[in-house]
């Protein structure tokens, strides 16, 4: 009897040891992908985490270690992490950061890790959007949407009542800068202003001026030479000055968010904005019957800048980049492959997240995108939406140069200097920054 009990005990211990070894082996084989996500509204972050969980369910041997980071400190956080060798496998931030981080060797070119996946992904994206993931001919990120500058939101009811309509009696956007000014003047009455003008000097306010300048043939840089004092930028800033009489007072303190709030509260008939205006709308107490459209910003009748028009400037702000400290390239590329699919990205069609321009063709063709962005969907179907659209400028020294341009913009609007003088000073300051970066 004793021997039988001993035998049973021995077998039981053996099974436990083997089982324990199996569990330890599974734990040892578990791959952890660490990821920093910078910025974004809470509901968008919740959607991303939901999709990450879906990926984990499909790939039980992989765990996503997700960490939210402050968007305002993205540059310092990543550069510091690089210096002390404490980077995650993936950073998710804006495409404007790609040139600087690529030049510093912080992020890796995806086309060198897996050229076959890059070829697979590229066909599902409009060519202009695909370029927002690139630098010097290499692909550094995969993205699900882009934010774009510059756009105009307009109050459909006010436009209809003023007779600013198409042949079907529907409100339509201004056709050019001259008509924009005429409409702004016409609708400035009875305590309502024609235009909400974001001129606080916030970097997004500067991006919007930049987007208008690019539509007018302006450029930040060309062959290492700063061009912000060219006619494309000069006339864009003069347009801002011409709009001042039709904007609420305090426009120097009005940032992109304040301008959208003024518009959605019915205080202005129009507002200069970015493509994410619908996201801002959701944050304000807006009447359910409030009617508005978002359209591409109108052109100057005759382009005055020396370069080609750019319909708008785009940057992804959920761009997944692989860092130099990646531990398991195969697992990480599998994760990026998941995020390249429609099943992962369909929330950006407008079905879950409203206020983003999706990157996949299938999302751009969806009914939900057309519902959120009727004017843009119409342009996409006609093949004109992305015509000439460019990636938002990114280069080493961008932060300093953006600050210099914001100061020049405010100097001109406050009449502390002429537009030409202000932008000449900006050009000199930025050229020094660019030259220093080269050395």
**Residue 432 burial (CB < 10 Å; 0-12/13-18/19+)?**
middle
pTM, whole model, 2 decimals?
0.86
Q: Tell me which of 6 and 91 has the higher pLDDT.
A: 91
* Fold equal for 31-148+314-391 and 151-311+396-438: yes
Q: Give the pLDDT confidence score for residue 3 in this predicted structure.
A: 52
CATH no. of 151-311+396-438: 3.40.190.10
Tens digit of pLDDT for each residue in 389-414?
A: 999 988 888 889 999 999 999 999 99
Nearest one of 402, 407, 411 to 241, comparing CA atoms: 411
Closest CA to 257 of 298, 205, 292: 205
181's tokens: 């000014």
Residue 22 is predicted with a pLDDT of 46
In this prediction, residue 56 carries a pLDDT of 97
The phi, psi pair for 43, rounded to 5°, reads: -65, -30
Residue with tokens 């209809």: 160
Place of tokens 């201004």: 174
Comparing CA positions, the residue from 173, 216, 239, 399 lying closest to residue 312 is: 216
Q: Which of 296, 256, 255, 251 is nearest to 273 (CA)?
A: 256
From residue 357, alpha-carbon distances to 102, 124, 143, 223, 386 in Å are 25, 15, 11, 30, 11
**Would you state the pLDDT for residue 28?**
53
Residue ranges covered by each domain of the chain: 31-148+314-391, 151-311+396-438
3-state SS, residue 161:
helix
Does residue 292 sit in helix, strand or coil? Answer: strand
Inform me whether the pLDDT recorded for 11 exceeds 50: no
The tens digit of pLDDT for each residue in 205-221 reads: 999 999 999 999 999 99
pLDDT tens-place string over residues 286-317: 988 899 999 999 999 999 999 999 989 999 98
Query: How many other β-carbons are positioned within 10 Å of the β-carbon of residue 72?
Result: 11
Beta bridge partners of 134: 139
pLDDT by residue (tens digit) across 133-150? 999 999 999 999 999 999
Superfamily in which the 31-148+314-391 domain is placed by CATH? Periplasmic binding protein-like II (3.40.190.10)
Convert 92-128 to b/e letters by CB count within 10 Å (16 or more is b): bbbbbbbbbbbeeebbbbbbebbeebbeebeebbbeb
Q: pLDDT tens digits for 23-63? A: 444 445 789 999 999 988 899 999 999 999 999 999 999 99
Assess contact for 194 and 246: CB atoms under 8 A. Answer: yes
Tokens of 77: 């956080």
Q: Are 370 and 377 in contact (CB under 8 A)?
A: yes
Cβ 349 vs Cβ 114: under 8 Å: no
At residue 267 the predicted structure's pLDDT band, cuts being 50, 70 and 90, is very high
Which candidate, 149, 117, 100, places its Cα nearest to that of 332?
A: 117
Share of the chain above pLDDT 70, in %: 94
Among 99-103, 281-285, 390-394, 419-423, the range of highest mean pLDDT: 419-423
Distance CA 140, CA 138 (A): 6
Of the candidates 396, 404, 406, which has an alpha carbon nearest to the alpha carbon of residue 135? Answer: 396
The answer to whether residues 242 and 179 touch, using CB atoms and an 8 Å cutoff, is: no
Interval 347-386: pLDDT, tens: 999 999 989 999 999 999 999 999 999 989 999 999 999 9
Is-contact 323 106, C-beta < 8 A?
Answer: yes
Asked if the bond preceding 150 is cis, omega within 30° of 0, the reply is yes
pLDDT of 352: 94
Q: Which of 258, 255, 216 is nearest to 238 (CA)?
A: 216
The mean pLDDT value of the chain amounts to 92
What burial letters (b/e) apply to 44-69, b meaning 16+ CB within 10 Å? beebbeebbeebeeebeebbbebebb
d(CA 375, CA 357): 12
How far apart CA 150 and CA 157 sit, in angstroms, is 22
Cα 301 → chain centroid: 28
CA distance 38 to 46: 13
Contact 278, 354 (CB under 8 A): yes
Residue 131 is given by DSSP the state G
């Amino acid at each position: 009897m004793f021997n039988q009990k001993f035998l049973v005990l021995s077998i039981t211990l053996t099974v436990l040891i083997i089982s324990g070894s199996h569990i330890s082996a599974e734990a040892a084989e578990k791959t952890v992908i660490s990821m920093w996500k910078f910025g974004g509204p809470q509901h968008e972050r919740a959607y991303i985490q939901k999709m990450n969980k879906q990926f984990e369910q499909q790939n039980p041997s992989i765990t996503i270690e997700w960490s939210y980071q402050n968007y305002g400190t993205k540059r310092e956080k990543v550069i510091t992490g690089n210096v002390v060798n404490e980077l995650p496998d993936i950073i998710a931030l804006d495409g404007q950061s790609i040139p600087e981080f690529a030049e510093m060797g912080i992020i890796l070119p995806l086309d060198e890790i897996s050229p076959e996946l890059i070829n697979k992904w590229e066909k599902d994206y409009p060519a202009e959007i695909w370029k927002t993931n690139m630098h010097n001919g290499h692909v550094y990120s995969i993205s699900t949407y882009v934010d774009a500058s510059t756009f105009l939101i307009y109050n459909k009811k006010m436009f209809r009542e003023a007779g600013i309509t198409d042949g079907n009696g529907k409100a339509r956007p201004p056709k050019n800068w001259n008509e924009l000014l005429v409409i702004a003047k016409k609708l400035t009455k009875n305590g309502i202003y024609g235009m909400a003008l974001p001129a606080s000097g916030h970097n997004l306010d500067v991006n919007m001026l930049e987007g208008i300048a690019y539509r007018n043939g302006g450029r930040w840089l060309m062959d290492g030479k700063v061009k912000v004092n060219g006619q494309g930028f000069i006339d864009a800033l003069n347009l801002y000055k011409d709009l001042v009489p039709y904007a609420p007072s305090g426009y120097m303190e009005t940032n992109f968010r304040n301008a959208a709030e003024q518009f959605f509260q019915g205080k202005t008939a129009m507002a200069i904005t970015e493509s994410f205006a619908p996201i801002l709308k959701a944050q304000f107490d807006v009447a359910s019957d409030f009617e508005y459209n978002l359209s591409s910003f109108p052109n100057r009748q005759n382009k005055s800048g020396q370069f080609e028009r750019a319909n708008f400037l785009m940057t992804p702000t959920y761009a997944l980049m692989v860092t130099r400290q990646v531990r398991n390239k195969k697992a990480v590329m599998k994760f990026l492959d998941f995020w390249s699919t429609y099943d992962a990205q369909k929330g950006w069609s407008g079905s879950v997240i409203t206020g983003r321009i999706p990157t996949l063709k299938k999302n751009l063709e969806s009914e939900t995108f057309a519902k959120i962005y009727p004017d843009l969907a119409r342009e996409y179907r006609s093949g004109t939406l992305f015509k000439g659209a460019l990636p938002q400028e990114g280069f080493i020294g961008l932060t300093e140069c953006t600050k210099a341009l914001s100061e020049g913009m405010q100097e001109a609007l406050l009449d502390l200097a002429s537009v030409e003088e202000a932008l000449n000073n900006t050009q000199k300051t930025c050229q020094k920054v660019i030259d220093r970066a080269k050395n």
